[in-house]
Amino acid sequence: MDAFKQLPSVDQVLQRLGDGIGLPHDVVVAEIRAVLAEQRERVKAGGQVQPDIEAAVRARLNGLTRSSLRRVINATGVVLHTNLGRAPLVAFEPIAGYSNLEYDLAAGKRGKRDVHTAPLLERLIGRPAILVNNNAAAVFLVLHEMAAGQEVIVSRGELIEIGDGFRIPEIMSRSGAVLREVGTTNRTSLDDYANAVNERTRLIMRVHPSNFRVTGFTARPSLKQLADLGRSRGVPVYEDLGSGCLADLRAQGIDEPLVSESVKAGINLLSFSCDKLLGGPQTGIIAGNAELVARVRGNPMYRAFRVDKLIVQAVEMTLVALLREDWQAIPALGMIFTKPDELKERAERVCAELGANAAVRESESPIGGGSTPDQTLPTWVVELTVPSPNVFEKRLRHAEPPVVARIERDKIVLDMRTVADNEIAALVSAVKAS
């Protein structure tokens, strides 16, 4: 076929590329071969050979060396945007080179990485605590250590599924624990739990439904009632608390259970996420009675779930800000604490820069991230009237830095709750360029 004859050889492409690629010869050759293979398939399908093979190769090589993980401007208003990394990280500079991650400088011998976060966690929670790589790992580890081969009592109304197919019954089965369901989907009584306790019971488990609400004809025991029952029967009570709210956000309109309330109720073990309403990086925190936390930490699986030095440092910085009640130092909490008047002023500034096609209006911001379902925060947005909202939204995503917006009523909506002051210039620039 004549079209195949138009394809250059690998050597020809190499010569045309010339020097200055900055990558090893084998890498460049592999990408050339990949592009030529794509062109052959294109010809077989009846298409034409791409006129500039070298440009295609350069694009692939640039893609290899350009960081895929990039900063984006979140203009959706979703504070804990799961696809954008949930809680934005606190500002910190990663320690370059070596660190004392597991080295006791005072004693001159091996230490434990827990020491960098354990004192802060215990001060904030009031109980000893350890870190694992997320709350799913925390749930698995607690169940595996405390109840493998034995029964865990859970209300049917709490056999939940969260994102990416994480289901309580399935994680329990994988941990080796045996599920003992009690009650119904909407009502479970204290007697249901009490009647299910037997010689094989190792845990009573309470699961917080972080991403949904059951309303109407519902009932379940209080945490204190469960804790009292567990104490009387000699069975620990474990709570998967989900969002991990350490700061009381009720004054801001967010009604989410506090970790301190679970501790006060007498819960023996609890776990929660660090990258939701706590405002830190992706981590799971296991806290509770000292002997139980030590037991979970001693499980051989703990090593598979422990966090690395970057997470330890990010958690430490977040916990210090929480201890100081410096909400603005924790981006997610800073966004939640921002008053509507400030958001309105920010929206008006952006609108003034964008001209006649922009307008300011009130709206609502969801918290997101599997937290606070049906709860929103009042916000102010900039609404853009453009000929083709879908095309415009795509252009924003290809800006530098990328801007992620939302579309409502055939208009582009830029929510100021999740746009920081220092991002406004870049946001305006991206909108004008699109």
Kindly state the average pLDDT of the residues 356-368. 93
Q: What angle do CA 242, 245, 246 make, to 5 degrees?
A: 140
Query: Which of the four pLDDT bands, split at 50, 70 and 90, describes residue 161?
Result: confident
Share of the chain above pLDDT 90, in %: 79
Q: Considering the chain, what is the average pLDDT of its residues?
A: 93
Q: Are 405 and 398 in contact (CB under 8 A)?
A: no
Which CATH number belongs to the domain containing residue 367 in this structure? 3.90.1150.180
Does residue 6 register a pLDDT over 90?
A: no
Residue 96 lies in a domain: no
Burial of 403: CB neighbours in 10 Å, binned 0-12, 13-18, 19+: buried
Last residue of a domain, one of 274, 309, 326: 326
Q: What is the pLDDT of residue 417?
A: 97
With 60 as the cut, is the pLDDT of residue 273 above it?
A: yes
In this prediction, residues 135-160 reach a mean pLDDT of: 95
Q: How many Å apart are CA 123 and CA 274, to the nearest integer?
A: 16
Decide if 93 is inside a domain: no
Residues 177 and 310 placed together within one structural domain of the fold: yes
Quick one: pLDDT at residue 18? 85
Query: Rounded CA gap, 74 and 88, in Å?
Result: 10
Together in a domain, 308 and 242: yes
The C-alpha atoms of residue 214 and residue 299 are separated, in whole angstroms, by: 35
Residue 79 lies in a domain: yes
As a whole number of angstroms, the distance between CA 332 and CA 319 comes to 13
> Do 212 and 275 belong together in one domain?
yes
Q: What is the DSSP letter of 161?
A: B
- pLDDT exceeds cutoff 80 at 214: no
Number of domains in the chain: 3
DSSP strand E in 139-177: where? 151-155
* Residue at which a domain ends, from 276, 307, 326: 326
Instruction: Give the integer Cα–Cα distance in Å for 65 and 31.
Output: 13
User: How much is the pTM?
Assistant: 0.91
Spatial separation of the C-alpha atoms in residues 141 and 301, rounded to whole Å: 7
Closest CA to 14 of 29, 26, 35: 29
- Work out the average pLDDT over 57-85: 93
Alpha-carbon gap, residue 404 to 8, rounded angstroms = 40
CATH number of the domain residue 302 falls in: 3.40.640.10
How far, in Å, CA of 434 to CA of 427, rounded?
11
Q: How confident is the model at residue 97 (pLDDT cuts 50, 70, 90)?
A: very high
Are 292 and 393 within one domain?
no
Burial of 294 (0-12, 13-18, 19+ CB in 10 A): exposed
pLDDT in tens, 290-314: 999 999 999 999 999 999 999 999 9
Dihedral angle, C-alpha 245, 246, 250, 256, nearest 10 ° = 20
Q: Is the pLDDT of residue 392 over 60?
A: yes
For residue 92, being part of any structural domain is answered with no
Tell whether 91 is covered by a domain: no
Residue 1 has pLDDT above 70, yes or no: no
Q: Confidence band (pLDDT; 50, 70, 90) for 243?
A: confident
Same domain, 123 and 214: yes
* pLDDT score, position 4: 75
Q: Which residues of 124-139 are buried (b: 16+ CB within 10 A; e: fewer)?
A: bbebbbbbbbbbbbbb
Give the residue-averaged pLDDT of 107-121. 96
Please check whether residue 151 lies inside any domain of the structure: yes
253 versus 329: which is more confidently predicted? 329
- SS3 of residue 75 by DSSP: coil
Question: Is the separation of the CB atoms in 225 and 188 below 8 Å?
Answer: no
Within a domain: 219:
yes
What's the rounded mean pLDDT across residues 83-111? 95
Domain membership of residue 137 (yes or no) is yes
Q: Are residues 407 and 305 in the same domain?
A: no
pLDDT at position 371, please? 67
Report whether pLDDT(160) > 60.
Answer: yes
Are residues 113 and 16 part of one domain? no
Q: Which residues contact 27 (CB under 8 A, 6 or more apart)?
A: 61, 64
Beta-strand relationship, 371-384 and 411-415: antiparallel
Whether residue 108 sits in one domain with residue 42 = no
- For the chain, give the percent of residues with pLDDT over 70: 97
Boundary residue ending a domain (326, 354, 381)? 326
Q: Nearest-CA neighbor of 370 among 220, 222, 209, 170?
A: 209
| CA-based nearest residue to 246, from 83, 126, 380, 376 | 126
Print the domain residue range for 218.
Answer: 103-326
- pLDDT, residue 428, reads 97
> How far is residue 30's CA from residue 41's CA, in Å, rounded to a whole number?
17
Domain co-membership, 304 together with 425 = no
- In this structure, are 289 and 360 located in the same domain? no
Same domain, 343 and 295: no
Per-residue model confidence (pLDDT) at position 370: 65
Is residue 316 located within the same domain as residue 181? Answer: yes
